[in-house]
Amino acid sequence: MLTDYHIHVERGPYTVQWLLNFAQQAENCGIEEWGISEHAYRFKETRHIFWNRWVEVRQTETLEDYMKMIFKAREQGINVKFGIEMDYFPGKEKEIEKFINSYPFDYIIGSVHWIDQWGIDLDEMKEEWDKREVKDVWTSYFDRLVSMAESGLFDIAGHIDLVKIFKYIPQDTDFLQREYERAAKSLAQSGTAIEISTAGLRKPVGEIYPHPDLLSTCFRYNVPVVLSSDAHCPEDVGRDYDKAVELARKVGYTKIQVFTARKAKSYPLYPQSY
Ligand SMILES: [Zn+2]
Ligand SMILES: [Zn+2]
């Protein structure tokens, strides 16, 4: 079994015709289990949760239109899961919970992209990295990741070491391992899965999320995994999965999670062809 649960179709319209391009690519890659996880901030229905200026101008769509596309596709026999990628902001748990319980999602990806008003992975805010102490940023990032896991609101934690994106990485390996341990512990305790995401290979850091040491730590704590590409175009669905599967196996993972109506089931990681 292979999954690709982290796909954005936002660069095109919410039509089945556009979605079919992604379906075709999933099929080409032998991915049976896949779903769309649009950024929650894109939808007018999340205006009361996400408030900053960067997000506001992008909040142009309605969740209804997105949902309708998924349901229409299913009527046409396309096996697509209905997901969402939700930004985690500490203190917004109640609003987030209410929102995610209002729609029939198959899974919720929780992601930390923001440290207060700073989008840590945004090119246009990259200069902020040079103004801060790298270790402090990492600590703030992992604080948020841990409270996101502890909230228990999310099925999957997205790209759990996104903070490495621009290669501002502390050299202190003891420090890193301490951060990894507390992240893995909180994810395990709340039963949140993580994704092995090939998106990092397409970013300045040039490596999979999470780092092999972080993935090993998660494995040690029995944190379940899914495979994801974080594709923003059809060509990126299932991209570099040979590398993701190789890493999963190397660390010891033999199983993968599948989500339906927010219930997880475990399947063997694809045994052949990789
Ligand atoms: Zn993300
Ligand atoms: Zn994403």
Is the separation of the CB atoms in 119 and 113 below 8 Å? yes
Q: What is the mean pLDDT of residues 122-145?
A: 98
Gap from CA of 139 to ligand 2 centroid (Å): 22
Percent of the chain with pLDDT over 70: 99
The residues whose Cβ lies within 5 A of ligand 2, an ion, are: 85, 230
Nearest listed ligand to the Cα of residue 111:
1
Query: What is the per-residue burial (b if ≥16 Cβ within 10 Å, else e) of 250-273?
Result: ebebeebbbbeeeebeeeebbeee
Task: Give the chain's mean pLDDT.
Answer: 96
* Assigned CATH for 3-268: 3.20.20.140
Gap from CA of 132 to ligand 2 centroid (Å): 25
Gap from CA of 266 to ligand 2 centroid (Å): 23
- pLDDT at 50 (0 to 100): 83
Q: Where are the domains of the chain?
A: 3-268
Confidence at 272, pLDDT banded by 50, 70, 90: low
Gap from CA of 85 to ligand 1 centroid (Å): 7
**Is residue 100 pLDDT above 70, yes or no?**
yes
- pLDDT at 192 (0 to 100): 98
**Is residue 42 pLDDT above 70, yes or no?**
yes
**Is residue 274 pLDDT above 70, yes or no?**
no
Confidence at 271, pLDDT banded by 50, 70, 90: low
- Of the CA atoms within 13 Å of residue 194, those in its CB half-sphere come to 36
Gap from CA of 38 to ligand 1 centroid (Å): 10
Gap from CA of 82 to ligand 2 centroid (Å): 14
Return the bridge partners of 132, or none: none
CA Rg, the chain, in Å? 18
| pLDDT tens per residue across span 195-219 | 999 999 999 999 999 999 999 999 9
Q: What is the mean pLDDT of residues 120-126?
A: 97
Confidence at 52, pLDDT banded by 50, 70, 90: confident
CA–CA distance, 67 with 100 (Å, rounded to integer): 13
Nearest listed ligand to the Cα of residue 8:
2
Q: What is the mean pLDDT of residues 221-240?
A: 98
- Tell me how far CA of residue 118 lies from CA of 53, 112, 126, 131, 136, in angstroms: 11, 11, 9, 12, 14
The residue to which tokens 């395990």 are assigned = 188
CA–CA distance, 246 with 240 (Å, rounded to integer): 10
Gap from CA of 107 to ligand 1 centroid (Å): 15
Q: Which strands form 3-4's sheet, in the order they lie side by side?
A: 3-4, 33-39, 80-87, 107-111, 156-157, 193-197, 225-228
